[in-house]
Amino acid sequence: MKITAEHLARGAYVYVRQSTADQLVNNPESRRRQYGLAERARSLGWKDGIVIDEDLGRSGSGISRPGFEKLLAAICEGRVGAVLAIEASRLARNGRDWHTLIEFCGLVGTLIIDEDGIYEPRHPNDRLLLGMKGTMSELELSILRARSIEALKQKARRGELFLTVAIGYVKSGRNRVEKNPDLRIREAIDLVFRRFDELQSIRQVHLWLRREGIMLPAVNYTRAADRAIVWKLPVYNTVHHILTNPIYAGAYAFGRTCSKVCVFR
């Protein structure tokens, strides 16, 4: 029997996580199953299961997870006899976090328990199986991410991908945008282009708008109203964005910006 009196003398920690806010709203059954692991801990001999659920709505692919950090701290302090999760992907979706967890559990003699079995990281066979579970979970996430990115690119090739809509436009249907029916918004955008046609300088347009006290529309995202228009004095970047956005020329563009990791030595 892998569960010993030493394990039972310490706590059983149940790690609960769902990756996105959408899952929190639309997939409550998964959450119930995870909370139900506290009952399994009692059936295995522990008095109670200590639930860690600070990471609800957080991805396991490497972003900051306070619940996971709390779990690792408890393991290192020798307070954890077993870690319970539905499956390996609930604990971590990247090799760094997964192997760190296995290493710490092996050092202090903490068991890892999921729906498939009970694993002792100190045993070579169990450690091998845990490593394979973590690798498969990481691979699964990579495949899902690659599929999602390719689907977005394919939609962009058809000119139908609109992650955000520029000021002066609104979404119409699933794959179309149209001019905003609000005349004040349309006239404000037209004014920016008319002044640029006269002054031929983004900076001069910005200074003129500020000097005349002319406010431009801007998007404000709030919980009450997902996308609300607010009016305020423009900053330089607002004017620059309007005058350089291809959509105002009737052109669709995707992939104008990208992120790049640079190493400074």
Active site (catalytic) residues: 19
**The amino acid at 94:** N
Burial class (CB in 10 A: 0-12, 13-18, 19+), 117: exposed
Question: Considering only CA atoms, which of 198, 177, 187 is closest in space to residue 250?
Answer: 177
Q: How far apart are the first and last CA of the chain?
A: 52
Sign of the dihedral defined by the CA atoms of residues 167, 169, 173, 176, in that order: negative
How far apart, in whole angstroms, are the C-alpha atoms of residue 108 and residue 82?
Answer: 11
How far apart, in whole angstroms, are the C-alpha atoms of residue 70 and residue 72?
Answer: 6
How far apart, in whole angstroms, are the C-alpha atoms of residue 151 and residue 174?
Answer: 15
Q: What does each C-alpha distance from 164 to 6, 205, 247, 248, 258 come to in angstroms?
A: 55, 25, 12, 14, 16
Residue 114 backbone phi and psi in degrees, to 5: -130, -170
How far apart, in whole angstroms, are the C-alpha atoms of residue 179 and residue 140?
Answer: 41
Burial class (CB in 10 A: 0-12, 13-18, 19+), 237: exposed
